[in-house]
Amino acid sequence: MTGTLKLELVSPERLIFSEEVEMAVLPGGEGDFGVIGGHSPVISTLRPGTIAIFDGSSVAARFFVAGGFAEVNSEGCTVLAEAADNIEDFDRVTVAQALHKAREDLRNASEEERKGLAQQVTIGEAKLAAIDSPAYG
């Protein structure tokens, strides 16, 4: 039987979450992956998506990350997120409006503006997916 895992979620502004958890599922750059106590060491990029924190077989908390990195080692798992928020704090209408604006801006963007705006669209789409279709809800 594996034990708990110390999970720390950090954004550039603050420490968002720091607790012992049974399991966390992270949005890895190559696909979602679960982390439990005793997990093998790994470093992974993170794509925009949901971190689901489990207590037994149910989800105890869900956070959205805009991307970043995760490091798993013998001490636990540290997530360094570009930006992170509790999904419960999202307002669907506000997220949908921001996504619509980002898509409009992308359509009218110059070549040098396209990369940043494309990333805003990707993040907006991932936020809506987290709200509308919680994979681990």
Q: Across residues 104-108, what is the average pLDDT?
A: 94
Q: Are 37 and 20 in contact (CB under 8 A)?
A: no
- Spatial distance between the Cα atoms of 25 and 20, rounded to a whole number of angstroms: 14
The CATH number given to 5-87 is 2.60.15.10
Residue 54 CB coordination number (10 Å): 17
Q: Are strands 76-81 and 5-10 parallel, antiparallel or unpaired?
A: parallel
Query: Which backbone phi and psi does 113 adopt, to 5 degrees?
Result: -85, -15
The whole-chain average pLDDT of the chain stands at 94
Q: Are strands 84-86 and 15-21 parallel, antiparallel or unpaired?
A: unpaired
Interval 36-57: pLDDT, tens: 998 999 999 999 999 999 988 8
Here the tokens at position 21 are 């958890």
Q: What is the pLDDT of residue 1?
A: 43
Interval 55-94: pLDDT, tens: 888 999 999 999 999 999 988 999 999 999 999 999 999 9
pLDDT value at 99 more than 60 = yes
